[in-house]
Structure 1
Amino acid sequence: MISKYITENGKFRQIDEFMPGTWINLTAPTQDESLEIARRYNVDLADIRAALDDEESSRVDVNDDYVLILFDIPSVEIRHNQEAYTTIPLGVVWTDDAIITVCSAETPVLKHFIVNNIRDFTTKKQVRFTYQIMYRTSMLYQSYLRIIDRRRLEMEERMGGATEDADIVNLHEMESNLVYFDTSLRANRMVVDRLTRYSGIRKFPEDQELLDDVIVENLQAIEMTQIYRDILKGTRELMSTFIDNRLNNIMKLLAAITIVMSIPTIISGLYGMNVNGNGMPFSKEPWGFMIICVLTLVICIVVTIVLRKKKML
């Protein structure tokens, strides 16, 4: 899908025709749509469609007629019937007449610009627009990281009760999300460093403060990711400890039950042996069977009390 926007006289609006200073937003474009934009702005078709490849690495390519900037943005997907986070590439192409953004899916990063929620945003300042996109990307990373941490806290609160298999799967998903985030954020940092150092990219003094904010927010997102990974590692160890402790308690309970149940088994086994009954206690008594049963019960009760005092039951 091709969408075209422009800022004129301080007002942001969507347009139907191609004009100088236009922002062209390509969302999951078809081959024909990509070819149309590539021919119109003299951009390599492979560069237009680079952002559609999930395995494409973040980079900055400066050509004679255009500049290609690729970096990763966070995205929501459904895994195991629930929301999970991953990263997808976002391509930004600077040409003389337009700035082109390419992404394989709709993203909240660009949604803020489409609904005109960004201050001092104009489609005609390509460098500033790109810095604003990268700034919103870092902020979205941090927002998703906080959501992941809240999920971890909810999981820890449930950990005192019965730990379900779904909790283990969720913990693995959160760890995977943080791995994706950490890898993508570090790659984005290299892109920002390249934009900072490369002399072939036009820079304006009024954009330096925004670039500094991008660097700070990206570094903060990297630190948050590392901190949350360490905390999740501790949560996994805590969950493993809980599971081991429950298993030990179950084994201890089963051992105690076995001890108690073995008492009537031993006594009944002795009285069931094929020997002369004259030597067996209570064998000649009219209430001998009842007496043996009562004595067995008493012994079991005594053993149970002892085991409870030793906290085995």
Structure 2
Amino acid sequence: MLEFYKTFEDGITKKIDAPQHGCWISAIAPTQQEIDYLINEIGVLPEFVKASLDEEESSHIDYDDDEAQTLVIVDYPNADEDDAADENTLLYTTLPLGVVIMKGYIVTICLYDNLNIEDMAKGRIRGMNTDMKTRFLLLLLLKIAQRFLIYLRQIDRVSSRTEKRLHQSMRNQELIQMLGLEKSLVYFSTSLKTDEVTLNKIMRGKLIKLYEEDQDLLEDVLIEIHQAIEMCNIYSNILSGTMDAFASVISNNLNIVMKVLTVITIVMAIPNIIFSFYGMNVNGFDGTMWWIPALIAIVACIIATLIFKKKDMFH
């Protein structure tokens, strides 16, 4: 899907029918025909388009001197929509978003629709101007950094709820959810570190021209990224410690269950042993005296139960 947006003199960004000088071109999951249009009509380098549509591409900056084009690929967080019906089973991943800065246009290319592009398209970002390419890029990066923080807080809330349920039951569902959250934090941590490297390259001002009025905005983006990295590390350590603790709890609970079952088995084996002796061919026992071994078995069971209870073997 190709869409064109332009910020007019009144500061309002509107959707336009065809590309104009100073407009923003948004390409979301483009078809082959749309890819050809970007390459042949707009002039985007084929390798830049290919890199932006590679799901495994990591965050980096690339520059082409001949065409005077700069490609910035940044990872943004994404909630797995397949499990979005239940927030307690949400899984999070990261996906690449390509931003091509070229003469006359700024182009964003991504594989899937995402909230960051949607917010930009609907004018929810204050100060956005499609003519100011550097500011546009920094505002998009700031939005992505803030999205990381939002999802990290969601992960923390889901983790806390899952932990409370784990106190009451030891089902596989809760453990799988905790494992999924831990994996999500690994994705976030890796992507945030590569995004930080990309931002540091932008800050040098060699590949992307930085204006004096954008310095504060760039610093804000770096602060948000650093905060997200710190939060990610903290939540990852907490979740890892929680998983280890619950692994120990589950193992301990299993040992307790086995101990109780062993004690019950021993107590129930006492009557069987006594009546086995009574069932042997032994002279002197009359059939009318059946209550004697029964009484002995009952007394022996009670004594064994009291001994085990005193040693706290039923807990």
TM-score range, shorter chain: over 0.9
Structure 1 residue 69: Cα displacement: 0.5
* Secondary structure class of the residue paired with 2:19: coil
d(CA) in 2 for partners of 1:90, 1:303: 70
d(CA) in 2 for partners of 1:190, 1:40: 32
CA displacement, residues 34-76 of structure 1 (integer Å, 9 cap, x when unaligned) = 1111222322112123221111122111223211101111112
Alignment length (residue pairs): 307
Q: 1:69 aligns with which of 72, 86, 94?
A: 72
* Secondary structure class of the residue paired with 1:106: coil
* Secondary structure class of the residue paired with 2:56: coil
d(CA) in 1 for partners of 2:81, 2:231: 23
Residue 296 (structure 1) aligns with:
297
CA displacement, residues 185-226 of structure 1 (integer Å, 9 cap, x when unaligned) = 111011101111142421111100000011111111111111
Residue 230 (structure 1) aligns with:
237
Please tell me whether residue 39 in structure 1 is matched to residue 40 in structure 2: yes
Residue 126 (structure 2) aligns with:
119
Please tell me whether residue 213 in structure 1 is matched to residue 214 in structure 2: no
d(CA) in 1 for partners of 2:164, 2:176: 16
d(CA) in 1 for partners of 2:13, 2:141: 20
Residue 95 (structure 1) aligns with:
102
- How many percent of aligned residue pairs carry the same amino acid? 36
Residue 199 (structure 1) aligns with:
206
Residue 52 (structure 2) aligns with:
51
Report the residue type matching 2:77 in the other structure.
Answer: P
Residue 147 (structure 2) aligns with:
140
d(CA) in 1 for partners of 2:227, 2:26: 28
Report the residue type matching 1:72 in the other structure.
Answer: D
Report the residue type matching 2:191 in the other structure.
Answer: S
* Secondary structure class of the residue paired with 2:221: helix
- What TM-score, normalized to structure 2? 0.93
* 1:149-228 pair list within 5 angstroms: 149-228=156-235
CA displacement, residues 113-165 of structure 1 (integer Å, 9 cap, x when unaligned) = 12211111111111011111111111111111111111111121122222111
d(CA) in 2 for partners of 1:295, 1:308: 20
Give yes or no for contact 1:69–1:93 (8 Å, CA) kept in 2.
yes
Structure 1 residue 78: Cα displacement: 4.8
d(CA) in 1 for partners of 2:82, 2:234: 24
Residue 24 (structure 1) aligns with:
25
* Secondary structure class of the residue paired with 2:167: coil
d(CA) in 2 for partners of 1:108, 1:201: 25
Residue 3 (structure 2) aligns with:
3
Report the residue type matching 1:47 in the other structure.
Answer: F
d(CA) in 1 for partners of 2:311, 2:157: 39
Deviates more, 1:290-299 or 1:115-124: 290-299
Structure 1 residue 80: Cα displacement: 7.3
Report the residue type matching 2:6 in the other structure.
Answer: I
d(CA) in 2 for partners of 1:63, 1:251: 68
Deviates more, 1:299-308 or 1:213-222: 299-308
4+ residue runs over 6 A deviation: none
Structure 1 residue 309: Cα displacement: 2.5
Residue 90 (structure 2) aligns with:
83
d(CA) in 2 for partners of 1:161, 1:274: 54
* Secondary structure class of the residue paired with 1:49: helix
d(CA) in 2 for partners of 1:301, 1:200: 85
Report the residue type matching 1:267 in the other structure.
Answer: I
Q: Structure 1: state its 5+ residue gaps.
A: none
Give yes or no for contact 1:49–1:102 (8 Å, CA) kept in 2.
no
Structure 1 residue 291: Cα displacement: 3.0
Change (3 A) 1:110 1:80: closer
- What TM-score, normalized to structure 1? 0.94
Deviates more, 1:122-131 or 1:291-300: 291-300
Residue 246 (structure 1) aligns with:
253
Deviates more, 1:87-96 or 1:111-120: 111-120
